[in-house]
Amino acid sequence: MRLKHGIHLGYCTNIHRGETWEETFAALRTHTNAVRLRVAPDEPYGIGLRLGAAAAEELAAKRDERDAFRRWLDETNSYVFTINGFPFGAFHGTRVKEQVFAPDWSTEARLVYTNRLFDLLDEIAPAGIEASVSTLPGSFKEFIRPETAGYQLDAIRRNLRSCARQIESIREKSGRDLHLGLEPEPLGMFENSAETVDFFGSLLEGASGDERDLILRNIGVNYDTCHLAIEYEEPAAAIGALRGAGIRISKIHLSSALKLRPNPAALSRLRQFQEGVYFHQVLVAEGGEVVRRFKDLPDALAWNEDSPDEAGDEWRVHFHVPLHTSPEEGFGDTRDHLSGLLAACADDPGWCRHFEFETYTWEVLPPALRARDVVDQLTAEYGWCLAEMERHGLR
């Protein structure tokens, strides 16, 4: 949906199962349209589309399917303004964990997939509106091996520059503003604002003035409020650092992380958030400073059993929890970071126009947090987001 200052708001359809185009389109017709009818029945409805590699390849190969999709968008007064191109393969019902970072940007497969998403997006999105794709932060830290790090980093930078040139070629043909957003995530190749600025410095290294402008025009950051909150960043400072380095904010993911004081009762209840599909990285802080990082929640809990006196005074867990409700007693969340980011947007509107909320964990939430039907849940998420955006003068 369209808000003030040219802002588009949608939810990311990665909450729904679907790897083939048939499955993806079925979820849009069944769930997304039901949400639309509740929250925006009489106005244009923006969709944040998740399109995996298999679905993207199928859709690109079948003009009749693209035509049918465009007709459905017209019939439902809907439009696609952004695509989540982070998860390449299966994203539900199987072990995803670190494989969500694969293939990474050192591979041809990731470049081909992302270029295909931009081709599709330019064809599907309404004429004249800017359109974005979000993607992983280059790679996963553990994928970068010391003996091959130089080669891997060179390949990542080379492929991203190639993608920037491909985006520019589409821009020149259609006149559309297109951009790719690299999404910092805990234990990603770059995970906080400082590492992101450093990475962009390396991406631009050796580029001529024109090529530097081309890269910064077409590649920016997808700022996920859950991820940066886990890193104990302050939103105004993080945004200031990124924009101060000339980095475009391509898209904002409105999301919230789980946080807690690591007392025995809270840690015992935290076990209900363990599940076998997604990574739930944990950052441990003492006095507001990160002192320890864990790849996944079971690792953190096992370590705490062996070292209970070193638990710090706060844990932040990469588990996207619903925005519209607080976790159960004993837990907190990081919605304050999201609100701080919206305040920064209100102070200087227009530097980012793509907003997408992304609570993709609905299937694996503890029962108390997913007691509603998914359409009910998404409708409630819209209600919270719109109220918060209105509070900051953005609606």
pLDDT at residue 48, as a whole number: 98
Structure tokens at 20: 């083939």
- CA separation for the pair 139, 237 (Å, rounded): 25
Classify residue 356 by burial, with Cβ atoms within 10 Å: 0-12, 13-18, 19+: buried
pLDDT at residue 213, as a whole number: 98
Q: Does 25 have pLDDT greater than 90?
A: yes
Say if CB 100 and CB 320 are below 8 A apart. no
pTM value is: 0.97
- CA separation for the pair 44, 376 (Å, rounded): 20
Give tens-digit pLDDT for 51-97: 999 999 999 999 999 999 999 999 999 999 999 999 999 999 999 99
Say if CB 11 and CB 379 are below 8 A apart. no
pLDDT at residue 308, as a whole number: 84
Domains and CATH numbers, the chain: 4-256+334-391 (3.20.20.150)
Give the DSSP letter of residue 281. Answer: -
Rounded to 5 degrees, φ, ψ at 379 are -60, -40
Q: Does 358 have pLDDT greater than 80?
A: yes
Categorize the per-residue pLDDT at 309 as very low, low, confident or very high, splitting at 50, 70 and 90: confident
- CA separation for the pair 173, 370 (Å, rounded): 45
User: For 270-291, b where at least 16 C-beta lie within 10 A, e where not — what string?
Assistant: beebeeebbbbbbbbbeeeebe
Q: Beta-carbon neighbour count of residue 113 at 10 Å?
A: 21
Categorize the per-residue pLDDT at 372 as very low, low, confident or very high, splitting at 50, 70 and 90: confident
